[in-house]
A and B are shown apart, each in its own frame.
Chain A
Amino acid sequence: MRKRWWTPFAIYVPLAAFALVTLVPFVYLIFSAFKTKEAFFSGPFWPVEEGGGWWAVDWSGFTFSNFTRLWSEVKIGEASFMRSVLNSFFFASVMSVVGTLGAAMGGYGLAMFKFKGREFITTVVLGALVIPGALLIAPGYFLLFQLGLLDSYAGLILPGVAPAFGVYLFRQAFISSLPHEMMEAGRIDGCGEWRMFFQMGLPMVKPMVGAFVLITYLGTWTNFIGPQIIIQTPEKYPLAVAVAQLRGPFSIEYGMIMAGTLVAIGPVLALFLLLQKDFIAGLTAGAVKG
């Protein structure tokens, strides 16, 4: 490739500009969460000292009070904000473990065994991928009403015990990575089917297990429409609904809303950026191979 003197500029200037645009909302979020109510209006990022010139920082404008008030003053129903954090943690943890296990079992079953109805179920899995979620909102609510599962986490978790998308991904992963010879050897050694699944199957598709746990965790953590429809008792709200609701009674408390948002996304963001390689591998696996 021919090099021109301006080539580095043509590469890094757009990249840096995009990076800036990407980072500004994060920086704004962090500054806003640590600013007093008065300081919020004194400058877009750091609180500015009156007459202090361009960079003058008004240190008294920084505060932790948004966070302490979030824990002490905010009531989601009768419970504290902490309850919503725990609800989200519970919801996302259970959902990702159960959903990944169910999807892996389904994928393993379709990939490793020959049985009556296998082709049919495989077709159903592929067909299920194109069913739009919007179609299931109203009748899904009606079903949960009939089952008596409204206002419960069971109503949110049970529909996701083995998502079709995951079954499809795990089927692909098992087909491409698990040699049947190994399974045969295991069987001859008298290994039980369940032991083979857990001790040989799952370890062989470890990257997919990791990626799918992450995808499900994030999807559940940021799921809004499900809990918004199904959960009716405020004490049971996960963070996505609770933080959105903060904007009602505390609509002008920008600092507190941003503190709540930071609590909601900060830990997850940090964790996922550390694990981004596995996460990305999982996201692209279905698209690039298929």
Chain B
Amino acid sequence: MSKKLRSTSIVPYLFVAPFVLSFVVFVVYPLCQSIILAFMQTNGPKTRQFVGLDNFSWLFTQDPDFWKSVLNIILYTAGSMLIQLPASLGLALLLNRKDIKGRGFWRMIFFAPILVGLVFVAIIFGLLFAPNNGLINNVLYQVTLLLDRVIPFFPDGWVFDLEFRWTAEFAMPAMIIASFWMYVGFNMIYFLAALQNVSKDLMEAAEVDGAGPWQRFLNVTVPAIRPVGTFVVLLSFIGSVQLFELPYLLIGSDGGPGKKGLTPVMHLFNKGFDAGDLGYASAIGWLIAVVLFGVALIQKKLSNPGTD
């Protein structure tokens, strides 16, 4: 190891100053502030009043909308991850084949949706799902008509009622479909990068030993991509739990009929900025944070068993 600069110099501090200063002002201070705010009721940023644990007791006992949003986000997170991640991995496995033609071309297509951004995905899918003439509803309608003809007891209005209106039940599938479209290629990129870690020698050895494709996948591929896999799972989890833009713009700022599209961060936003109670919003923020910290800890324990 070569010598680094003398520790008495001021220079290294100047280099880290932008991070340290912005972190203290815009992260540490607000974090402390949010602890105080969580015990306050505010009316906009100007007036506030100490209310003790009222925010939390209200949140747990008097706020059914919040618990609806929690249920929604559990459904959304489970639904989107269970569909997205296997599809992403499948695409990555296909594109990782030695004999694939036009890898760059396929990758470019699958990667494109992430560049659109959630806001514009929500706007585009809002039109795709448009009640009367949206493409997806039209296709789904044709499919239901067909199924109706083939299966005698197929329920009408499975996805939307016959007047082509959105039904409350469709909010969740719509969100899952839109986020699937956006994130499948993005997650695929990570899996594709991870698949470069799969040892070719080990793969060939397994093949020589007569291991079938499924065995090779489980015993050679999976262990090699596991670290990146857990990273992608954690990333999608954190993103899903804090979902905001997509339902806010696709379903509606209030979560749509029956609040089927309401998420915890939307609830936080509505309480904090429409109702003006930053204190209550902070309390919701802490609850979300505690859940995320908990999951991150569990994930850490699971990903390196044996340590500590």
A residues near B (Cβ < 8 Å) are 1, 11, 14-15, 18-19, 21-26, 28-29, 32, 40-41, 44, 102-103, 105-106, 108-110, 112-116, 118, 121, 124-125, 128, 130-143, 145-146, 158-162, 164, 167, 180-181, 183-184, 187, 193, 197, 218, 221-222, 224-225, 229, 240, 243-244, 247, 254, 257-258, 261, 264-265, 268-269, 272-273, 276, 280, 283-284, 287-288, 290
Contact = CB atoms under 8 A, between A and B. Distances in A.
Given A106-B18, A218-B115, A25 B124 contact: yes
Interface string B257-271: 000000011001100
A164 B23 contact: yes
Interface string B97-127: 1001000001111111101111110011111
Interface residues of B, number: 95
Given A105-B18, A134-B289, A184-B3, A11 B94 contact: yes
Given A19-B106, A115-B7, A240-B117, A41 B127 contact: no
B173 interface: no
B33 interface: yes
A106 B12 CA distance: 9
Interface of B: 1-5, 7, 9, 11-16, 18-20, 22-23, 25-27, 29-31, 33-34, 37, 45, 90-91, 94-95, 97, 100, 106-113, 115-120, 123-128, 130, 132-133, 135, 138, 181, 184-185, 189-190, 193-194, 196-197, 207, 228, 231-232, 238, 241-242, 244-245, 249, 264-265, 268-269, 272-273, 278-279, 281-282, 285-286, 288-289, 292-293, 296
B229 to A, nearest CB: 10
A105 B278 contact: no
Chain B, interface SS category: helix
Contacts of B264: 134
29 contacts: A18-B91, A106-B15, A108-B15, A112-B12, A115-B13, A121-B19, A132-B289, A134-B268, A135-B288, A137-B268, A137-B272, A137-B285, A139-B282, A139-B285, A140-B30, A141-B45, A143-B30, A159-B27, A162-B18, A164-B19, A180-B4, A224-B118, A240-B119, A261-B124, A265-B116, A280-B111, A284-B190, A287-B193, A288-B190
Interface centre among A26, A32, A143 (most CB of B within 10 A): A143
Contacts of B193: 280, 284, 287-288
A96 to B, nearest CB: 15
Given A138-B278, A162-B18, A222 B4 contact: no
A191 to B, nearest CB: 12
Contact of B113 (A14, A22, A28, A130): A22
Nearest to A125: B19
A140 B26 contact: yes
Given A114-B4, A132-B292, A280-B189, 12 more contacts: A18-B91, A22-B181, A28-B128, A109-B15, A112-B5, A128-B23, A130-B293, A138-B268, A167-B19, A180-B2, A225-B269, A244-B249
A24 B268 contact: no
Interface centre among A125, A145, A244 (most CB of B within 10 A): A244
Nearest to B110: A22
B22 A138 contact: no
Given A134-B242, A137-B268, A284-B193, A180 B111 contact: no
Contacts of B120: 222, 240, 243, 261, 264-265
A268 B116 CA distance: 8
Contacts of A197: 15
A113 B3 CA distance: 9
Nearest to A197: B15
A133 B238 CA distance: 10
Contact of A28 (B33, B135, B190): B135
Given A19-B109, A121-B16, A137-B269, A254 B130 contact: yes
B268 A22 contact: no
A90 to B, nearest CB: 18
A134 B278 contact: no
B288 A132 contact: yes
A148 to B, nearest CB: 11
A132 B9 CA distance: 35
Contact of B118 (A23, A44, A222): A222
What 9 A-B pairs have minimum CB-CB distances, sorted nearest first?
A222-B117, A109-B15, A113-B12, A139-B30, A139-B34, A106-B19, A159-B26, A138-B281, A102-B18
Contacts of B19: 102-103, 105-106, 121, 125, 162, 164, 167
Contacts of B90: 14
B114 to A, nearest CB: 8
Given A136-B27, A162-B18, A41 B133 contact: yes
Contacts of B25: 143, 158
B134 to A, nearest CB: 9
Nearest to B228: A287
A138 B112 contact: no
Contacts of A131: 27, 31, 289
Contacts of A269: 112, 115-116
A224 B116 CA distance: 13
A49 B27 CA distance: 58
Contacts of B20: 121
A184 B2 contact: yes
A96 B95 CA distance: 32
Nearest to A260: B123
B133 A105 contact: no
